[in-house]
Amino acid sequence: MSMTSMPRERYRWTSSVPFLLLQLSLLVPIFTGVTWQMVVLCLVSYYLRMFGVTAGYHRYFSHRAYKTGRIFQFLLAFLAQTSAQKGALWWTSHHRHHHRYSDEVEDVHSPRHRGFWYSHIGWILSTRWEKTDFDRVKDLAKYPELRFLSKHHLLPPVLYAAAMLALFGGQGLLWGFFISTTLLYHGTFTINSLAHVFGRSRYPTGDTSRNSMLLALVTMGEGWHNNHHHYQSSANQGWRWYEIDMSYMILRALAKVGLVWDLRIPPKHVVAGTRAPRNLPQADAKPAVIIQNVA
């Protein structure tokens, strides 16, 4: 299908004004100055919520790569939603759609067909992807607390911003929420755009997914994107000793204290690439290897 035969996009510019204005927060320090304390706060806030996105939105809700209890499931959703990337059900439904049509014309954010700008930001501003496809998230939509968070998806980021203001003042609000959130947006979005353009492809996945150490450091392990597309339901995305995966390191620590369990990892033949895996990115995925005890 050619670019001209694709559905014409309509953008919700009015309701996107807050998102677009948030980008300007990166310019404010030119006038207010920079302190190392605020830079540290920004980084801590960034990586705390990046874990919510990677281990929560992505590996748990979208791919069910491990198990946890209902309370911690709610906390994961709340933490992820402080990133202001909408609700867990919305995020999951669109990510599962992406894997079903990865780099095909129907893909929600493929740089192959629509270019960098659309895959990085444009699809989020498009009216085409505003709604949640509840048919794709039936396994999650049965929980009323997750439906509540998705309906009121702005509640977690507002409460998080209020906490930054109360604890660290105006500069804390700027660095701990506005700047951190802006960087978090673009850090997350690089996986949709750059991870399908730059890096190396170890496995023939049928799409343009790549592995990148730089993107893995920015996104706590998500940069091993070709690994992930090769075997989607794995809790770890860095499969070799040098493939740093901070999200998985934290998940292992949480498993030791019993907050999560049944961490799924790829079988040896999948890592070796000797046999193509049967990828099941939905909730019915049944990978061959599960770590039940990590202590």
What tens digit of pLDDT does each residue of 25-65 get? 999 999 999 999 999 999 999 999 999 999 999 999 999 99
CA dist., res. 109 & res. 176, Å (int): 28
Q: What is the pLDDT of residue 232?
A: 94
Q: Is 146 helix (H, G, I), strand (E, B) or coil?
A: helix
**Residue 60 CB contacts under 8 Å (≥ 6 apart), including other chains:** 66, 68, 73, 76
pLDDT at res. 127? 72
User: According to the model, what pLDDT value does residue 248 have?
Assistant: 98
The reported pLDDT for the residue numbered 9 is: 67
**Sign of the alpha-carbon torsion through 253, 258, 260, 265:** positive
| Residue 16 pLDDT | 74
What's the pTM? 0.88
**Residue 266 near residue 203 (C-beta atoms within 8 A):** no
10-residue block means of pLDDT along the chain (295 residues)? 54 74 92 96 98 98 97 98 95 91 78 82 78 91 96 96 98 97 96 91 91 97 96 96 97 98 95 64 44 44
Q: What pLDDT is attached to residue 15?
A: 66
Q: What is the pLDDT of residue 116?
A: 84
pLDDT of residue 99: 86
Tell me what pLDDT residue 171 has. Answer: 97
Per-residue model confidence (pLDDT) at position 110: 79
Output the pLDDT for position 251.
98
What pLDDT is stored for residue 286 in this prediction?
A: 40
Candidates 13, 43, 18; CA nearest to 157 is 18
